[in-house]
Amino acid sequence: MYMYYHDDYEYIRYCEIQAHRMYPKIYHELMPHIKRVCEMEDSPNNPMMEPFPNEEKIEKMVEKVYKNYKNGYRDENDESIDEFFRDRHHGIRDIITILLLGELLGRRRRRRRRRRRFFHGYGHPGFFY
């Protein structure tokens, strides 16, 4: 029996990879820092992060990502880098906030998908009496 969805999956995966390559350079620079902070902070056992972190916690996480990102550029001459970050301070923070919220929401979606409810016997969804 031929599985029709298999070809569609490979095509969709190819499209996702191509779209991911077209993301701006700053996305690829920020995402490793964002994922690292999420790995440290976001766990089901952390009461400050469940069910969703408050605005203060998000701001602290954005600050951590921003400092990590900024410190990654300390190798070059410091004066031009300080000027670069001073001019783009709010724009970069806004981008970090958007990407961080997207990552946190994606993590919660994946967690929810893993939780399976066990229905036994009659009356489960899709069973008609």
Domains in the chain: boundaries:
18-46+54-107
Name the packing angle between helices 55-71 and 25-41 (round to 10°): 130
Low-confidence ranges of the chain (pLDDT < 70): 1-7, 73-89, 110-129
pLDDT computed for residue 96 by the predictor: 95
Q: What is the pLDDT of residues 15-32, one digit of tens each?
A: 889 998 999 998 999 999
**pLDDT at residue number 1:** 47
Q: Which two tokens stand for residue 48?
A: 């400050």
Task: Report the pLDDT value the prediction gives residue 89, as an integer from 0 to 100.
Answer: 64
Q: Which residues contact 25 (CB under 8 A, 6 or more apart)?
A: none
Full-model pTM: 0.66
